[in-house]
Structure 1
Amino acid sequence: MKRAIRREELREIVPLADSTIYELEKKGDFPARFYLTPRTVAWDLDEVQDWLAKRKAAGAELQGDEHKPDVRQRKARPVKQALHVVNG
């Protein structure tokens, strides 16, 4: 039996901001929403659960430091360089 979920339930299942989900959908990296009415959207629960399972499997491979983003390359709020003081 297929089941559709609305935004409130999606937020409980997927702990991401609405804007992040929207961006992932635009890129094709998250299950697409569909309209139940002109003002009501929903997601297919099976597709969301499959997406989570794939992310979980991929996450096991991404545990090392080599997969972390380089925060020094941020465009907004770049990380300030620390001053290293040597006591001698």
Structure 2
Amino acid sequence: MTRQTQPLQRKTIRRDQLREIVPLADTTIYEMERRGEFPLRFNLTSRCVVWDLAEVEAWLDARRQASKAKTVKRAPSPDVQLRKSRPVKHPVTV
């Protein structure tokens, strides 16, 4: 029995499909691409930009693993002691 190998089928996604999968703003995605932290998009035509779905899914899996391992760099919590004012809601008096 000989096993016939099927050609590798690669699926690409456009920006609207990417945003359904990865809930980040376009500018965040572009900055992450620039820093090498997100899969790079490529042009199919002069007016059509796509991402490789397998690369995006691999990136998501890596992020999931990093999150479970607590190695994701998180933004620092704000220091409330540095606030210049502390707005307080006063109860309404009748």
Pairs aligned (count)? 75
The higher radius of gyration belongs to: 2
Of 4, 12, 16, which aligns to 1:4?
A: 12
1:49-88 aligned at under 5 Å gives the runs 49-62=57-70, 68-72=74-78, 80=83
- Gaps spanning 5+ residues in structure 2: where? 1-8, 87-94
TM-score by length of 2: 0.70
RMSD across aligned positions (CA): 2.3
Residues 59, 81 of structure 1: alpha-carbon distance in 2 compared, 3 angstrom cutoff: farther
Alpha-carbon separation, structure 1, partners of 2:39 and 2:28: 13
Deviation at 1:55, TM superposition (A): 0.1
- Gaps spanning 5+ residues in structure 1: where? 74-78, 84-88
Spell out, residue by residue over 1:26-72, the C-alpha distance to the aligned partner (whole angstroms, 9 max, x if none): 00110000001112100000000000000000001228xxx543244
- Give the secondary-structure state (helix, strand or coil) at the position aligned to 2:20: helix
- Aligned residue in 1 for 2:3: none
Of 34, 48, 52, which aligns to 1:44?
A: 52
